Structure 1
């Protein structure tokens, strides 16, 4: 199994694009983060490592990482697109608090199985899916 840097390099080569030091640094910075990052958060972290990298370079690199299948965008219904690592990760869904924005990654084999059954019942072959469950977390409910 190839590492993310090799996969990204292969993807860029297929698109006749170069692996620039800036793209390498952005990928490396993304890989060192935990959780779900917005483009602005990633840009701030990249800026700490190399102040010459512009925000547009971060946006374009995120787009390439998404197109390559290494990351995926998430919509927690708060107007901010976040990204999480996709390659080599187990599929999971998200519980999202409408008040504080807290999100919890969940994996439930029963739900996954049922989603596959539903797709099959309707003549679909599932390629991918996302499920977001919105509510109020226990911390916000106790306030």
Structure 2
């Protein structure tokens, strides 16, 4: 079973567990979501699903995404100044850089940052339960010598 097949099965199971009927349009949406390795917005997910099975409404996309988020199988990211974006919850912990000019979202993981955050929390008498790190960035323009 491929990773995409496993993701599709997990998403489908989550919706069924919530009592949501799996229509052809929802099945197409789940397949598109399972394939996504980026951070698509709801409108982009609708566009991709429409290529597979026409007739999926944006309200169906939003309702389905909300239920999948409630079931804990997808994560909603609300990056500053952009519509919500979605990704699978099964991914390893990572942080995000958001290019303020292009809107591109870049995932990264850095052990030094993770250790430093834990050290800071510990020094202040806390332990980290959950965190998100979002860096809003802009490509550097190369300066001519």
User: Which bin holds the TM-score, normalised by the shorter protein?
Assistant: 0.7 to 0.9
Q: Name the CA shift for 1:32/1:10 in 2 (closer, same or farther; >3 Å).
A: closer
Q: Name the CA shift for 1:51/1:9 in 2 (closer, same or farther; >3 Å).
A: closer
Task: Kindly indicate whether the alpha-carbon contact (under 8 Å) linking 1:4 and 1:70 is maintained by their aligned counterparts in 2.
Answer: no
Return 5+ residue gaps in structure 2 as ranges.
none
Among candidates 15, 18, 21, match of residue 18 of structure 2: 15
Task: Kindly indicate whether the alpha-carbon contact (under 8 Å) linking 1:97 and 1:103 is maintained by their aligned counterparts in 2.
Answer: yes
RMSD: 2.4
Task: Kindly indicate whether the alpha-carbon contact (under 8 Å) linking 1:102 and 1:137 is maintained by their aligned counterparts in 2.
Answer: no
Return 5+ residue gaps in structure 1 as ranges.
none
Under a length normalisation based on structure 1, what TM-score does the superposition of the two structures give?
A: 0.79
| Number of residue-to-residue matches in the alignment | 138
2:118 aligns with 116
1:133 aligns with 135
Task: Kindly indicate whether the alpha-carbon contact (under 8 Å) linking 2:74 and 2:88 is maintained by their aligned counterparts in 1.
Answer: yes
Pairing 1:70–2:73 present: yes
Task: Kindly indicate whether the alpha-carbon contact (under 8 Å) linking 1:95 and 1:135 is maintained by their aligned counterparts in 2.
Answer: yes
Give the secondary structure class of the aligned counterpart of 1:134: strand
Distance 1:30 1:86 in 2: 12
1:104 aligns with 106
Among candidates 40, 45, 49, match of residue 42 of structure 1: 45
